[in-house]
Amino acid sequence: MTHETDIIRQVLEGDIESFRLLLARYEKPVIRMIRNITYDRESYEDIAQDVFLTAYKKLASFDRARSSFSTWLFTIARNKSLNELKRKKPRPISEPPEKSNPHNPSDDMAKKEFYGRLDKTLQALPSRQRRAFVLAEFEKLSYAEIARIEGTRPGTIKSRINRAKMKLRTALEEFAGDVL
Amino acid sequence: MKIDEIYNAWKEQKSRIEVGKGFSDKVISRIHQYERQKRKPLFDSHRLIELISTRPLGKATVVTAGVLIGFVRMMLVVYAFWGC
């Protein structure tokens, strides 16, 4: 596997096709992060395209002494997602689907209801908590990496994630109490 | 199903992602487009001539600029004579 530093050097020397290696490595995490932060099912891939184009344009300014490439790229993705959220009016959160068989939560419909409730709660979280949660739980980044992306301290990130988890758990328990 | 199981299954589901077909091709195509635009010279004389010759406003601008320059030159000549 080619080392990231070598790929970046090749791209900076004018080999645009080498950028495909970075795309192959990071397209899924970046797209997933944007989708889970913006909840925009229509344009999350467009935002991701902008992220990679911006990364290409600013590649010369990337300093690996300051951060890893993934942290740098996620910071761009975070900023683009925030801009998109500011640009777009908040959309109404969709209602959870109708309740089905409440006595058997293992069936598919009941599972969807639980997922719907968790989605709704995640979407309703304060933006900072949601970003920290998404980066930690779905992208598996460390507190230190998330803190660098968010421009804050790891302790702050830890408390944001804990608060987000608590809200999700409470919502899930309340919902389970309702249907069971 | 326990709460933890549901929560973990939900996380698993949220982590799955399908990237649209041709995503990387679209990005690379935009990069090539960006590079082409970057390489375009700031001042392109051929493009300027084309703009002037094909657009009425371009022609009018050139004529107006010519008249103004001619007028200023005439004024300078008159000023030079009268100034002496």
> What ipTM was reported for this prediction?
0.80
What is the architecture of the domain spanning A1-91?
Answer: Orthogonal Bundle (1.10)
**Stretch A159-176: mean pLDDT, rounded?**
91
Determine the distance in angstroms separating the CA of A105 from the nearest CA of chain B, rounded to an integer: 6
| Cβ pair B6:A105 closer than 8 A | yes
Determine the distance in angstroms separating the CA of A113 from the nearest CA of chain B, rounded to an integer: 11
For residue B19, report the phi and psi dihedrals to the nearest 5 degrees: -85, 135
DSSP state at residue A42:
T
Per CATH, is A94-180 categorized as 2.30.110.10? no
Chain-wide mean pLDDT for chain A? Answer: 87
For residue A49, pLDDT beyond 60: yes
pLDDT value at position A161?
97
Domain ranges of chain B: 22-83
pLDDT value at position B84?
63
Lowest mean pLDDT among A66-80, A135-149, A153-167, B29-43: B29-43
| Cβ pair A53:B19 closer than 8 A | no
Nearest CB neighbour to B19, from listed A17, A27, A53: A27
- Dihedral sign, Cα of residue A175, residue B1, residue B2, residue B5: negative
- Stronger pLDDT, A95 or A176, i.e. the higher one: A176
Do the beta carbons of residue A39 and residue A93 sit within 8 Å? no
User: What is the per-residue pLDDT across B24-81, written as a single tens digit (0 to 9) for each?
Assistant: 999 999 999 999 988 877 667 777 788 788 888 888 889 999 999 999 999 999 988 8
| B15 at interface of A, judged by CB pairs closer than 8 A | yes
| Cβ pair A23:B24 closer than 8 A | yes
d(Cα A42, Cα A159) in Å, to the nearest integer?
Answer: 32
Q: Whole-prediction pTM value?
A: 0.74
d(Cα A5, Cα A22) in Å, to the nearest integer?
Answer: 11
pLDDT value at position B59?
86
Reported as a pLDDT band with limits 50, 70 and 90, residue A173 is confident
| B9 at interface of A, judged by CB pairs closer than 8 A | yes
